[in-house]
Structure 1
Amino acid sequence: MSRPGPRNLITDVGGVKVGHAGDAKLKSGATVLLLDEASTASVAVLGGAPGTRETDLLAPDRLVSGVDALVLSGGSAFGLDAASGVQSFLRRQGRGFAVAGFAVPIVPAAILFDLANGGDKDWGLHPPYRDFGFAAAEAAAEDFALGTAGAGIGCTTATLKGGIGSASVRLENGVTVGALVAVNAVGSVTIGDTRHFWAAPFEIDGEFGGLGLPSPLPADASQPKTKLGPKPGTNTTIGIVATDAVVDKAAARRLAVAGHDGFARAIWPSHTNFDGDLVFAVATGRSGVAVDPAGPDAIDLGAAAAAVVARAIARGVHAARSEPGDLLPVWSAPDD
């Protein structure tokens, strides 16, 4: 039976660290996945309102073969500046893609809309996200906070405060798969008016409350619960699937697509016109286990990606903390 890694975090994948930075008064922040060495990566965007940086180069037919870091940030389009801060951090270390005598750090990024969440966004002339990115990269470590941290500080869902979530699993062939997700969805992560998570079938060891599925399912379970009056770009769930398997960019792209199945398992509805739903996939190759895309291990890898993303989504909402000025309750105290 597959089990989580020792931390039950994406950093159970060898070669991966995560850091957060943000501001509670602003109700926004950024999260950085820092790679020990440039690693194979790709992306899949299925939401109708994405905000991204440097995602075109992740296509299998593009020149650059590896990325140095990935960024998830709040702040809508302003949050794309977080990647510049991470670039500065990496450039100081001499990291980057070598071209014409220069090292150019490759830092794709995705953003979510958290501007209208009750935080004070009067930041003056320049938004703070570049500084958040640099600080998050400096703070990157194997252990990191879930819930109200980094890009999860300002996240919301239809009914509850959102957050940053993570989970991992180790497969029988020795490969580890992990996920990191900032949950800011149009839809709901819980079933009807209950506290039961849609992701309940994938839960391991009560990691997000252990409630399981309601029995019987409520009559309104299939009725979508969404944020009132959504506007284009006002939401988004963004995430990263990481593995230590050896795969190429085409297989990483398929892994990112599989990660979106986790969105569909954990959020109802997902991938709407008003979400910017995006999944990065990155493979460090640290396990040394090569996965044949035409073999059964590829199916197991994709299934693991979907399950670990679903678990990470529920864990992010489960771990959210109540803060002054919140517009929605947290899962742990839904009636507050």
Structure 2
Amino acid sequence: MPLNLLTDIPGLRVGHATDLALGSGVTAVLFEGGAVAAVSIQGGAPGTRDTALLDGDATLERVDAIVLSGGSTFGLDAGGGVQAALREAGIGQRFAGIRIPLAPQAILFDLLNGGDKEWGRFPPYRELGHRAALAAAPGAFALGSVGAGTGATTATVKGGLGSASAVTAAGHTVAALVAVNAVGSPLVGEGPWFWAAPYEREGEFGGRGLPAAFTPDLLRPRLKGVDPTATTIGLVATDATLTKAQAKRLAVMAHDGLARAVLPAHAPNDGDTIFAAATGKVPLRDPVAELTLLGHAATLVMARAIARGVFHAEALPVPGAQPCWQDRFGAG
């Protein structure tokens, strides 16, 4: 039975490392046998590792993992931890006889959420990355304030880690995983409505629908802080057979889901970054038409995953922590 998660794609494993005292964490997505991958970066302040390997003119064809992490640029150490775990497991591609696991990464800024960031000389993210990779497993995984979504916040309520899946009319499975840490807001006005409400399935994020009318106040932008620094990072994956160029188009179209679920999106201090990965198990019979269906599905699962991540989030156990959606609206 589908789980409405990224692991509905066969061959994918997801693992989290969560540190509530730190107020941050890491999520690792591992691909059995590797995956064709691409990335689309639409935010004005991104932080990434090894994303140039995913360019269409780069030699690399497949990656072993994708890493999502908190910690801003300190969090880029997490990729090394994931890489170490993969190498210990004998996973990686051989270059000149050397096994090198390839795990491109994106980070989000969660340094001002009240967690303890006085970690000493070296940040903890390499160890968190290693733990996340070791924890990676098929099947169900937690959503909300876990992994890369641990310390995520938005302009209105606590952010978090979300996921959703769907099957296209052509029979391809598409799924999203996203850490929601936006400059903008996932809510219409002050809520409880989600911008992603038109795409909701079976009350997966509360079933509140949309307001009866959109007043000027509801449409007024909600922004995080005086000098907001944020970033929503994620991945869309499919079992379809795609080239790197087709995977790039899928990542681009998935950003439409981000823009439907968070307003405003792609702001100057957002680093909004979405990866796309294809395991190549189900061929495209009509490349143009079926890639369009894949992109449409990627838009919708990304929007739904964003709302689910916020819906399942919990406030950090620190003084002055941002309230979560459940704290404000869950009893209604």
**Both proteins in one fold, TM over 0.5:** yes
- Detail structure 1 runs of 4+ shifted over 4 Å in the superposition: none
**Structure 2 residue aligned with 1:195:** 192
Which one-letter code corresponds to 2:255 in the other structure? Answer: H
Which one-letter code corresponds to 1:331 in the other structure? Answer: W
Q: Does structure 2 conserve the Cα–Cα contact (< 8 Å) formed by 1:155 and 1:161?
A: yes
Pairing 1:310–2:303 present: yes
TM-score by length of 1: 0.95
Distance 1:81 1:291, change over 3 A: farther
Shift of 1:291: 5.5
SS in 1 for 2:327: coil
Partner residue of 1:92 out of 69, 84, 88 = 88
Indicate the structure with greater helix content: 2
Partner residue of 2:25 out of 24, 29, 42 = 29
Shift of 1:73: 0.1
**Structure 1 residue aligned with 2:58:** 62
Q: Does structure 2 conserve the Cα–Cα contact (< 8 Å) formed by 1:246 and 1:290?
A: yes
SS in 1 for 2:184: coil
Residue deviations 1:37-85, cap 9 Å, x none?
1110000000000000000010111111000000000000010111101
Determine the C-alpha separation between the residues in 1 that align with 2:285 and 2:125.
37
Shift of 1:229: 1.1
Pairing 1:259–2:254 present: yes
Which one-letter code corresponds to 1:77 in the other structure? Answer: T
**Structure 2 residue aligned with 1:166:** 163
Pairing 1:223–2:223 present: no
TM-score by length of 2: 0.96
Residue deviations 1:161-208, cap 9 Å, x none?
000000000122221000000000000000012210000011000000
Partner residue of 2:324 out of 327, 330, 334 = 330
SS in 1 for 2:326: coil
Partner residue of 2:284 out of 280, 283, 290 = 290
Q: Does structure 2 conserve the Cα–Cα contact (< 8 Å) formed by 1:27 and 1:153?
A: yes
Determine the C-alpha separation between the residues in 2 that align with 1:34 and 1:27.
24
Determine the C-alpha separation between the residues in 2 that align with 1:136 and 1:193.
34
Percent of aligned pairs sharing the same letter: 55
Determine the C-alpha separation between the residues in 2 that align with 1:291 and 1:180.
26
**Structure 1 residue aligned with 2:211:** 214
Determine the C-alpha separation between the residues in 2 that align with 1:76 and 1:312.
22
Q: Does structure 2 conserve the Cα–Cα contact (< 8 Å) formed by 1:329 and 1:335?
A: no
Determine the C-alpha separation between the residues in 1 that align with 2:329 and 2:97.
59
Pairing 1:81–2:77 present: yes
**Structure 2 residue aligned with 1:6:** 2
Determine the C-alpha separation between the residues in 2 that align with 1:143 and 1:193.
31
SS in 2 for 1:244: strand
- Number of aligned residue pairs: give it: 328
Q: Does structure 2 conserve the Cα–Cα contact (< 8 Å) formed by 1:291 and 1:297?
A: yes
**Structure 2 residue aligned with 1:271:** 266
Structure 1, unaligned runs of 5 or more: none
RMSD, aligned α-carbons: 1.3
Q: Does structure 2 conserve the Cα–Cα contact (< 8 Å) formed by 1:85 and 1:134?
A: yes
